[in-house]
Amino acid sequence: MKLSDIASILGVEFKAKDIEIKSMNTLKDASKDELSFVSNSKYVKDIALSNAAAIIVDEKTKDAVPNGCVALVVENPYWSMAILSKQFAPLIEDNTLADAKIGEGSKISDKAELANGAIIGKNCTIMAGAYIGTNAVIGDNTVLYPNVVIYRDCIVGDDCIIHANTTVGSDGFGFATNKLGQHKKIYQNGNVVVEDDVEIGSSTTIDRAVFGTTLIKTGTRIDNLVQVGHNCEIGEYSVMVSQSGLAGSTKLGRNVVMGGQAAAAGHLEIAAFSTFAARSGVTKSIKENGLTYAGFPLMEHRTWLKLQSRIAKLLK
């Protein structure tokens, strides 16, 4: 879209040089033909380092936008970003693309559906009811059980197993809210990448990123009924047990173990080789490697055991 058209959609006065904007992105990742936004004061410091062609800001933040970058000044930048996310959303399916490509030795059920532009590797098994979206890629030797759904643009690596009814690439839970309490959908225009040798249980959901990628790294094991939010990253050989979950933009290091019903809040970073007992509630980043935690509020597992022992004695 032309930057002038974007300004018109937002109802913003536009006097700068008009350029073509190809997409939206975060401040850190935006390129010279992309648009970004600032809706939280803690990200103001990133404005000066951004390569974005234009940034959506409010009155308080506009002076932080450097020369050469266009400031689109609005009342509610997050709401405006949500409006524009729809403009940059790709087609759900693109029937102008070529038919799906299927690698040698792959077995595709007659009841599975492959959208135009999909690519299936060699020696894959795709069972009845599975759906592979536009431009999705499935690596070699991968098995998709019945009713697995891989949304458009998502990538699944080699030697993966995804069990029945699991969805990879559904929209993350994202919306903006205005002062009247109305909600505006934020279109999730990123994707999901599942690297090699990953097994995912049944009825699990892995949300696509708003921008960029939700990443499941090599060797990860995910149980049934697990929720992975948008823009999360799960480190190599990590384990997520049934009914555990990650809120958006949380990053797990290598070999992290999340016990049953354990959960992490959003925008956290979890150190490698951390272990969380069942029903742990993680609300802060974990910086030290290799410790085991339990409870809510979260504490080291040994401390939690001592606490439970003392509570039990009080009840006698």
Q: Which domains does the chain have, with CATH numbers?
A: 3-87 (3.40.1390.10), 101-304 (2.160.10.10)
Is pLDDT of 288 > 80? yes
Report whether 68 contacts 32 (CB < 8 A): no
Is pLDDT of 42 > 90? no
Query: What's the CA gap between 132 and 256, in Å, rounded?
Result: 29
Residue linked to tokens 């047990």: 241
Q: Rounded to two decimals, what is the model's pTM?
A: 0.94
DSSP run (H or E) holding 213: strand 213-216
Q: What are 70-103's pLDDT values in tens digits?
A: 999 999 999 999 999 999 999 999 999 999 999 9
Residue at 73: amino acid letter: V
Query: What's the CA gap between 200 and 164, in Å, rounded?
Result: 9
Q: What are 145-178's pLDDT values in tens digits?
A: 999 999 999 999 999 999 999 999 999 999 999 9
Mean pLDDT for 2-20 is 93
Residue at 239: amino acid letter: V
- What three-state secondary structure class fits 207? strand
As given in the structure block, the two tokens for residue 207 are 């949300």
As given in the structure block, the two tokens for residue 247 are 């809120």
As given in the structure block, the two tokens for residue 188 are 């999730």
- Tell me the sheet residues that pair with 13: none
Query: What's the CA gap between 34 and 60, in Å, rounded?
Result: 22
What pLDDT does 102 receive? 98
What pLDDT does 315 receive? 85
Model confidence band, residue 267 (pLDDT cutoffs 50, 70, 90): very high
Query: What's the CA gap between 302 and 315, in Å, rounded?
Result: 21
Please list, residue by residue across 11-23, b when 16 or more beta carbons sit within 10 angstroms of its beta carbon and e when fewer do.
Answer: ebebeeeeeebee
Strands, E, within 130-230: which ranges?
131-132, 137-138, 143-144, 149-150, 155-156, 161-162, 167-170, 175-177, 183-185, 191-194, 199-200, 205-207, 213-216, 221-222, 227-228
Active site residue 163: no
Q: Could you say which of 163, 183, 230, 267 is catalytic?
A: 230
